[in-house]
Structure 1
Amino acid sequence: MAQVSSQAELRTALEALDSFIQVTADFSISAQINIQYAVTIESYAGGSPAVLTKDNSYSSYMFRITDGGSLTVRNIILDGNGAAHPQADEANRSLIYVTGGTLKLLSGSILRNNNSYLEGGGVYVNSNSSYYNAFLMTDDARITGCASRTKGGGIMIASGNQGDSYSIAGAAFIGGNTASDGGGVYVRSYAQGTGGTLTIAEQVQITDNTASGTGGGLNFSGYRNGGSAAATLTLTGSAAVSLNKAVNGAGVYFYSANDGDRFTLSGNAAVTQNTASQNGGGCYMTAQGAGVQFIMTSASLTDNTAGTGGGLYLLTDSGGSVSVTQGLISGNHAAGGASGTGGGMWIRNQSPDAGLLTSFTNITMSRNEAEAHGGGMALYAGGSPFSFEVAGGTVSENQSAKDGGGLLLSNSGNGSLTLRQTALTGNTAGGSGGGMYHAVTSGDSSSSLTMTEASIENNTAGAEGGGLRLTSGSGILSAVLTDCTVSSNTARGNSGGGIWNGGSNASLTLDGSTSVTDNSTEEGNGGGIYFNSEEGSMLLTGSVKITNNHADAAQSDFGSHGGGICLVPGRLTIQDSTEIALNSARLYGGAVSAAEDSQVTVEGGTIHDNTSSEYGGGIWIHGGSAVTLSGGSLNNNKAPYGGGIYNDSYLYAEGLRNISDGVYIENRTAVVRLNAPLAADSVIQLENSGYLSPNTDGTPIVVGEATDGYPLLSQTDAKAFQKPVRGFDGWEIRRSSDRTQILLAPSDYRIQYENLLGAANPNPGSYNSTSPDIHLLPPGSLPGSRFTGWYDAPDGGNSVTVIPHGSTGDRILYARWEAAGEDHTVTFKGGGSCCSRACGIPAPLTVRAGQSTLLPDAVPTRRGYCFCFWNTSPSGQGGSYLPGELLPPLSTDLCLYAIWKKRRFCCPCPPPLTASSFAARKLDAVSGSPLSGAWFALSQNGSVLLNSISDSLGRITFSGLRPGSYELSETMAPSGYKPDTAVHQVTVSEEGTVTVDGQPADGFPLYNTPSAEAHLTFTKADTSTGQPLEGAGYTLSNGISALSDLDGTVDLGMLAPGTYTLTETKAPDGYILDSTVHTVNVTNDGHITVNGNDLTQFRPENTRMRSPKPVINTVMEGDAIVTGTGVPGAAVTVTFPDGSEAAAAVDAGGQWFIIVPSSASLLANQTVNARQTVPGMYPSDTVSVLVLSRV
């Protein structure tokens, strides 16, 4: 061993070939020291590290290792005296130059503060054709503050022999160094056939180095011209590459040109907090002419920043592979604005044929951010085949300003994508594809996407596809999701809250237990799924659930279609136990919106409890689309128009169909077409529409139609169709005569005429609700009888003179007769034999027995005489009558004589007096308009003398009245009006003046008040939940009854003004009868109040019954089974002393038993509790028994 304290002593010791040299004092080096044998140089034991400094006069290498020499440095500081040797000095060289030898930097060794004009600021290892090179840096060795104008600010290794070896391990530190490339370390093979291997392990730190070009921390490559041995770079253990800076590859720059070139990150190795101004903040990998391999196992890429590829930037023209297992890729940022793509990873394959294989196992890719596309990852597979596989792990809380918040994947070649047990959660895209964006970008390529047990949750897209955005472009894409969860995703500005699937040939299959739930689109279509593919198809099979999705947040120019699914266009098949429920849309299709020639086939599953605020609560069919219902069920969906289905295109049905929530048919094309028979008990409830509206002509409306495959319809088919609940009173559903159509047509009602007694009947035998008013004519004459009118009952009843338009129901009308008695004759004579020259004597008048009649109003004339009156006696001493006067009923024939006076006795002869007349007017009490059809009778002393009917001007005319008092009363009110029950007093004065109730009779107003009917309908609800109840029965005091339907609606029809009582006569199953008697008042203007409040506030409720308590049989300690009795079909739940519960059903015999859980050993004096729940009732109160001792 030699101890030295100067350069001269050091040279002497080396010349003596001492293998161990201790430096006892600091000194400067002013000339190169050559190492050509194996030697260790270290500071004197126990002292501070000796500092060997480049002399101010010397710029070149301090040590040169050659000819197989080996230098081990321990506890020595080599200082390059950078202040005295500025970087521009062309003579500046590395501190240590190795060319054909070995360098070991061990504990306490520090290389610092050196500037090199050429390669290697601290160490330069250069290949030697005769000797292998070896480099080891370990323990706490440090290279810091060194700089190279070219490559390797800390270390430059130029490999030239396959046997060269390099390793950096221990707690080695390479920091604060700078270079053009490889700020910390630069490694490259410069010899054909030589690859090179560098392992950086344990606690090595490569930190805070800077490259003005590539590789801020580390720049590594094999032989760059290709055709050489593979080169491998490994970072393992707890090695860290951090806080480095470069233009490209701030942490690591890896150049691949040979098959097998590989970069491995393993152990707990970390590449973190590095910054590249362009690409590859953490790592930059490029491959020229050969595939690249990147392997990452249990390592991390975190908090790195670059313009593109914040964590990893990988560009290859020759394919390659990427494998990440249990890797952490987090907090990376692609900050390049419009080119800021791939926050966590950016991968592109430019090879037209060499494939790219990528696999990720149990990864965590989180909180990465891209200012353009691909927050977590952007992968561009190019035109060659590729595979992408993720098995386990999470892609979460990543962000992109444009597409692909979590993942952005594209290929123009054939690709296979598989995600198993992977979570895409909480990712955000400013554009489309919050969780994942996948696109096939060539029409000649295809891609398959398989997702199994994956969860896509709480992702957000500013445009399309909150969870997934999948497109085939002009190529082919087949996506299959099995046992996956797509939940709580949002598409804000466009369509596909959960999934957006489109392109010319994009197919989507959901199977197993896959659920698409709680997703929404705020302005677009398809809250759960948006599907847009002319050649593709969508299949829902297995136990798939599409539930509680929404397209109803805000109305837009194009959105609010398809709460669950929107097809524009597409082909959808629904099978097995698929459930589409509780979805909602603002405009069209609560469950499914089908437009632009879409095709929907429902073979199984259920579509229920979906809502639309406008059209099609269940399904909206539009724009030439077709829906075929061959299986499954559709119920309890709601919308103002088309609760179950709104159809303006094509709807096909067969089998057992229950669409009680309504089918809206917009036009003739949209009628229901039957492909096969409908099963018994099918229900197709039709809704009112512009097409489905009653017409005054009574023209039948087609609602169903046969097809080529099923040309003749059955009565069972017709029975399934239910007419709209309003507006079609008097219409019915029936088959057309040729059995090819189902029609909604006016019902034909029969009019049966009784008690004609052989008289001819001129009236029609039938009518329908569209027939005009039928004014009944009297039957033909019947000898000895006089017809008195048509009545609606054999005795008593009401007189019927007209069957008004809009009436319904079969009718029986009874003719009533009275004995005709003997007709009487009134004969008129001019007065005695002297009156033969009288003119204008009326012809004899026949008067029917019991009837009054008007005398002819013509006045006879006789030369030289004035006519005075008619008299029953020739002497004029009998009863007198004037022309036109009312003649009371006669009991015998009557002869009336003209009474004359000579003109000389009555000159001038007064004009003959005439009988009085008047015309009152019938008017609407509200509008003042004249009313026709009011019947009035004029009576005197209790006998009806004359009848009159108001004409079109409302005039009621009576004439032939003699002075006296009469009574005027209305006997029939005009249709739609309340009868006027007043009796008016008519007075005819001796002067012939007529008054009614003291007022002038002509024009006297007689009023009728409109009888405005009102519609009594209300909703029956559950007291606790407010949900509508079916099966509640109500009866009005006028006898009308109704049951509440599926929506809880009780419809008691139209009521005339008046007061009624309303009582519940039947409670819904499982509910307590409401005994309240309600008072219903209908005002003349059609307003309804119930119990004094507006009808809109009336929502009667029922309280659910509580189930009866079960019976528990005796329980003994140690029993293995607890038994008892209950209501058949009920569920009994037993709570054991340890708090555990078990349940069982009560069998048809009323018995139940439950096996005691192993955790609940029964001991004496413990308590066993039970409660019973009968379907439709509340659970019972708890019943308890004490466990008995067996002793």
Structure 2
Amino acid sequence: MENCLIQGNTSSTDGGGIAMEDAHVDLVIRNSIIDNNSAGGYPHSANYRVTTSGGGGISFDLGTITISDSSITNNSAPVNGGGIGYRNHANQASLLAAVKTTNTIFLGNTAKTLTAISETDKITHADKINKSEVGKTYSQNQAYAYNNFDIQYSGTNVPLPKVTVTFDTKGGTPVPNSQTVDYGQGVYLPTPEPTRPFSQFLGWVTANGDIWSFATAGNPNTGAPVRSDMTLYARWQSDEFKIDYDLDNGTNDINNPTSYVYGVGVTSFADPVRDNYQFLGWFDAPSGGNLITSISDTDDGDKILYANWKANDFVINYSLDGGSNHATNPTTYTYGIGVTSFGDASKTGYKFLGWYDAESGGNAVTNITDTATGTQTLYARFEKDLTRIDVKPIEKRIIKGSTYSWQHTHHEPVLYDENGVAVDGAKLWAIIDGKVYDENSFEELPEGVYDVTFTNVNPLTKAMPFKSLLGRALIKEVTAQTTATIIAEDATIETKDPAPITVRYVEQNGKEIKTATVYTGKNGDVISSAAPMIDGYELISLSDKINAVITDQAQTFTFVYKPVNSVQQALPTTGGTLPRTGEMENGWHLMVGFLLVALLSFLSWIKIGKRFIRKQG
């Protein structure tokens, strides 16, 4: 027989499940179940009806039975063999030899009596089954198995085996002594009961959690029978304590407990979450404190766990368009902090316009807010820097043996700001052979070629002039290079006719606003001319006076003005031939003219200063 289920059958005589009446049958059963079969009629009838029937599961004569990987359970018979019964074997030796089992379960089989096998044979037979199935452990019912050795018996002819019960208090005290009793007897309830902090003792249970029934005092045959060495465990009702969580704006994991039981504790905690933060762990204090990963089984009292966070860092990328970044600009920022400001990028020949969030268009970026997240890319935006000084080279002729009265205004220097707009009233300096000149300085230069450097920063103090009186902000330092060429010629130059020097008065667009003044004289005469005050106009030329020498080459100088609302007294138009050296009456007139120009210039600067003060206010 293989892979069979024989269940729920009833026989009025022998063999509720299987009956073997042929003495020469050898039955082999593999991987089968023989369950809940009855011999001698239905077992609930009085005296099992036919009281001489045996073999609730299987009944056989003189044949053999070999059973493997099967189970024979819950079968019943009035007399011999609730599981397997026999009829014709003369003695227990032949019976034991006729049945062989391997890896087979016998459980819950019952019979009323057992004939022909003594109490000694029961124990011997059980030992034989245990030894024959190496590595398999049976409970008592399974060990006293296939010929119904699970029934109680008494009047044994050999000593019963001893069994020992030990007690595990699970941390309680005192620990009871172990009890050793005869097989099948009960054990007594230990006294006193153990105690444990923050716990209530509920009783003793088996490893499976079943409550144990103890024997009545003085009567070891009461209570639950002990059929093997075993351990009973104390069951406790432990106190429960609260667990609170300080999440600091985070969200807790739903699996984290809100309480714990003394004696059990909590083995681990799940991580909470918080947007844009990294969880560093649970701690026992709002700051500092100790890292908490569990609650031990000996801990007690309510607990507060504090979530510790670290704000996420994000990358900052810079697109510099060929420029260089400011050394202090950060490469990362922290959520919740951001960046308050950024340093300016730089690029040679360009002015920095600002940081933007797009390569073109986009929005200006001056900071990163404390609520920003993710990688940020900043684009540097530049514009061509037009700051410069425009100057002209000059070439002047002198008579051999003489010098040229040089002034840096002869080069007509003009300072332009970063937007390419001429700076009104800009003060400039010139440098020749390491010597510094302003617009009012003269130098007698002999024949030669001179390198001239112009700058808008005073080389002697390295300070840029204060321009705000003219409503202009400070601009960066710039320089320009030019030359002054002085050519000496023979005295025959005197035979050449002197050429006039013309001084023009124009607006910024070149429109003449006053009749030009023409100066004449002989070669070598020095001409000085101050810019006049013109009603409705303000002088914006770099210098307010001109010094020149009459030569055989015509020369033109220009004073540039811009319109203003105020009305100023214009100087009288001048013209005619300049006085020769030593002619007093014309010299007197010139002196009076210079004093008048100085007075009007002073009044004009006072008016400009008041305008500046109003503007600054």
Same fold flag (TM > 0.5): no
Larger relative contact order, structure 1 or 2 (CA cutoff 8 Å, min sep 6): 2
Structure (1 or 2) with the greater helix fraction: 2
Give the TM-score range, shorter chain: under 0.3
Structure (1 or 2) with the greater strand fraction: 1
TM-score calculated relative to the size of structure 2 = 0.27
Larger Rg: 2
